[in-house]
């Protein structure tokens, strides 16, 4: 396993980090973590040299930190680095922030966090954090050793990232980085800004919530033609691992197969060649031409007050674009029940919560249009 060194980083994380937001489940309920399978995965990951584990207050419907407390803490504290995050989107006062951090330490059963982040900042939550004096308070906790490294994760435009990064002294910054968002969200500019200032980059969504593992058919075929022996996810991991300035790459792994695939990639000669970059440029264009809605199924927008199952509506639509399978579309929409997109009242409550800045009510019209268009065939099936 590779461990990269940076000035100011005291304990080096493994280049591959374990995101604890997509653990195996027992049922459809994201709170229903399969403890047995998840424990096997983290045990194996530790044996293979992965020492960085990334949780957050709201992962797995607030259950991820409890999993950490019960399972990860069975291993010696010095064997793992724990990252947790302050949910600024749920916080209105400094006292509330203090209560949440105390609760996080208790849930995780630790007395310090190796890495602590303000979670999913954008221009609105930055404003709130500044007004509440969150940074100064966290700096005091760092001086007390309750936080070892201080940073933030980010979902907004590069100019906002640049201004906020310069406002304070950060140990690291976590950004959404992958070969699609390099251009789609101009992640290139944020990455270059951070690297030029010597600020280590933690990569989130290297496989874009699984979208770059399950590519549109044309893009998948192009990768297969180039090398049929490796997975699509492996190309995505290689892309970010090849970037200097990256401290660790977070992958939210859901089964042993994904973990093993990522380990094989990260322990291989992963550096991309000029030809590989050109290939991924082609794949990016094929992806963009597919018309998929860029939802990562993170569930941050849920629950919808009108009951719409937003991520699943988008997932069904994206699958239909790939397969053209009308019977599957009909069955999957029927299974949504009252959560179908036509229940949307366009209240816009979901929009500010979406890290991908998707115009959710407008985009929901696409799956709804397809569904209505296929109503007659659905009735016949």
Burial environment of residue 179 by CB neighbours within 10 A (0 to 12, 13 to 18, 19 or more): buried
Q: How far is the CB of 346 from ligand SF4 (least distance, A)?
A: 5
Specify whether the CB–CB gap between 165 and 211 falls below 8 A: no
Please measure the distance between the N-terminal and C-terminal CA atoms of the chain and give it in whole angstroms.
52
Which of these segments, 146-154, 157-165, 184-192, 358-366, binds ligand SF4 (CB under 6 A)? 358-366
Q: Which is nearer to ligand SF4, 132 or 354 (CB)?
A: 354
Quote the CA–CA distance of 233 and 103 in Å, as a whole number. 35
Quote the CA–CA distance of 179 and 199 in Å, as a whole number. 21
Which of these segments, 23-31, 185-193, 309-317, 328-336, binds ligand SF4 (CB under 6 A)? 309-317
Return the structure tokens found at 298. 């993170």
Q: How far is the CB of 14 from ligand SF4 (least distance, A)?
A: 27
For ligand SF4, the binding residues in 288-307 under the rule CB under 6 A are 295-301, 304-306
Q: How far is the CB of 293 from ligand SF4 (least distance, A)?
A: 8
Which residue, 287, 352, 373, 369, is CA-closest to 155? 352
- DSSP assignment letter at 91: -
Specify whether the CB–CB gap between 98 and 138 falls below 8 A: no
Q: What is the DSSP string of 50-62?
A: --EEE--TTTTTT
Which of these segments, 19-27, 37-45, 332-340, 354-362, binds ligand SF4 (CB under 6 A)? 354-362
Q: How far is the CB of 309 from ligand SF4 (least distance, A)?
A: 9
Contact between 204 and ligand SF4 per CB under 6 A: no
Quote the CA–CA distance of 227 and 93 in Å, as a whole number. 53
By CB under 6 A, name the one of 53, 147, 350, 367 that touches ligand SF4. Answer: 350
Q: How many residues bind ligand SF4 (CB under 6 A)?
A: 27
Contact between 310 and ligand SF4 per CB under 6 A: yes
By CB under 6 A, name the one of 347, 359, 373, 381 that touches ligand SF4. Answer: 347
Quote the CA–CA distance of 193 and 197 in Å, as a whole number. 7
User: 20: which residues sit within 8 A by CB, 6+ positions away?
Assistant: 53, 54, 55, 59, 60, 64, 67, 68, 252
Q: How far is the CB of 221 from ligand SF4 (least distance, A)?
A: 26
Contact between 58 and ligand SF4 per CB under 6 A: no
By CB under 6 A, name the one of 224, 323, 345, 375 that touches ligand SF4. Answer: 345
Q: How far is the CB of 120 from ligand SF4 (least distance, A)?
A: 10
Q: Which is nearer to ligand SF4, 38 or 313 (CB)?
A: 313
Quote the CA–CA distance of 23 and 32 in Å, as a whole number. 10
Quote the CA–CA distance of 272 and 240 in Å, as a whole number. 10
Q: Which residues bind ligand SF4 (CB under 6 A)?
A: 295-301, 304-306, 308, 310-311, 314, 344-350, 353-354, 356, 358, 360-361
């Amino acid at each position: 396993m590779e461990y990269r060194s940076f000035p100011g980083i005291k304990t080096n994380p493994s280049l591959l980090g374990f995101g604890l937001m997509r653990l195996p489940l027992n049922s459809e309920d994201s709170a229903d973590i399969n403890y047995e399978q998840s424990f096997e995965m983290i045990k194996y990951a530790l044996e293979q040299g992965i020492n960085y584990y990334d949780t957050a207050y709201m992962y797995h419907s607030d259950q991820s930190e409890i999993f950490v407390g019960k399972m990860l803490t069975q291993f010696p504290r010095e064997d793992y680095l724990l990252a947790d995050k302050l949910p600024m989107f749920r916080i209105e006062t400094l006292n509330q922030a203090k209560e949440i951090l105390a609760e996080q330490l208790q849930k995780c059963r630790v007395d310090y966090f190796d890495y602590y982040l303000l979670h999913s900042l954008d221009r609105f939550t930055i404003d709130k954090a500044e007004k509440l004096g969150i940074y100064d308070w966290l700096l005091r906790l760092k001086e007390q050793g309750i936080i070892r490294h201080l940073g933030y994760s980010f979902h907004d435009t590069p100019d906002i990232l640049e201004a906020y990064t310069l406002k304070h002294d950060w140990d690291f910054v976590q950004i959404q980085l992958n070969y699609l968002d390099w251009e789609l969200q101009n992640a290139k500019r944020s990455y270059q800004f951070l690297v030029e200032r010597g600020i280590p980059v933690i990569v989130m969504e290297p496989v874009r919530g699984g979208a770059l593992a399950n590519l549109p058919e044309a893009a998948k075929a192009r990768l297969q033609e180039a090398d049929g022996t490796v997975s699509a996810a492996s190309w995505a991991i290689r892309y970010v691992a090849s970037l200097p300035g990256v401290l660790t790459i977070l992958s939210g792994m859901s089964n042993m197969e994904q973990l093993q695939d990522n380990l094989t990639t990260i322990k291989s000669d992963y550096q991309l060649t000029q030809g590989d970059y050109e290939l991924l440029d082609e794949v990016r264009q094929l992806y963009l031409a597919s018309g998929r809605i860029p939802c990562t199924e993170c569930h941050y927008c849920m629950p919808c007050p009108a009951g719409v199952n937003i991520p699943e509506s988008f997932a069904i639509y994206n699958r239909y674009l790939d397969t053209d399978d009308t019977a599957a579309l009909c069955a999957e929409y029927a299974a949504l029940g009252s959560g179908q997109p036509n229940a949307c009242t366009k209240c816009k409550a979901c929009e500010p919560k979406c890290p991908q800045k998707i115009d959710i009510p407008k985009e929901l019209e696409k799956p709804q249009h397809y569904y209505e268009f296929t109503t007659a065939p659905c009735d016949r099936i």
